[in-house]
Amino acid sequence: MLKDRNSSAIVAVADIERALAFYEGVLGLRLAERHEEAGVLVFRTGDTFLTVYKSDYAGTNQGNAVSWAMKGDLIEVVNELRAKGVVFHEYEQLQGLDFKDGVYSSGPVKLAWFKDPDGNILHLAEGV
């Protein structure tokens, strides 16, 4: 039923202008649609879309909200985002993986997590 369908992420935010500045200005996503009255932004990301919407429940997520599949450039992207002020997070429960400069690694697998201004957890993954 759904196995051949594209999926997309939807992220709740408290401030739509702050979200626009972060997702477009910091992450470099291209704004595809803006629905002012509804408080909704839609960004193009690869072959799919990321929808960001204003919500009173923004920042209550304790798990991953969005994940991007990287193609050999995770370290480069981490360095670019860090230069823009993004902070990468270390998680105690990821034992057995090497952690250096905000990136977890094990063989060809590289993982990094950071948050948007509302506390939504964003994830970069390579080699998985």
What does DSSP say about strands 30-35 and 98-100: parallel, antiparallel, or unpaired?
unpaired
Percent with pLDDT over 70 in the chain: 96
In angstroms, the CA 31 to CA 60 distance is 24
Where does the pLDDT of residue 53 fall: very low under 50, low under 70, confident under 90, or very high at 90 and above?
very high
What fold, for 1-56?
2,3-Dihydroxybiphenyl 1,2-Dioxygenase; domain 1 (3.10.180)
Adjacent-strand bridge partners of 99: 104
Where does the pLDDT of residue 1 fall: very low under 50, low under 70, confident under 90, or very high at 90 and above?
very low
In angstroms, the CA 60 to CA 57 distance is 6
In angstroms, the CA 3 to CA 25 distance is 33
SS3 84: coil
What is the residue extent of each domain of the chain? 1-56, 63-127
Higher-pLDDT residue of 16, 128:
16
In angstroms, the CA 123 to CA 92 distance is 16
Q: Which one is the CATH code of 63-127: 2.60.40.1730, 3.10.28.10, 3.10.180.10, 3.30.450.20?
A: 3.10.180.10
- Please tell me whether the overall predicted TM-score, pTM, comes out greater than 0.85 for this model: no
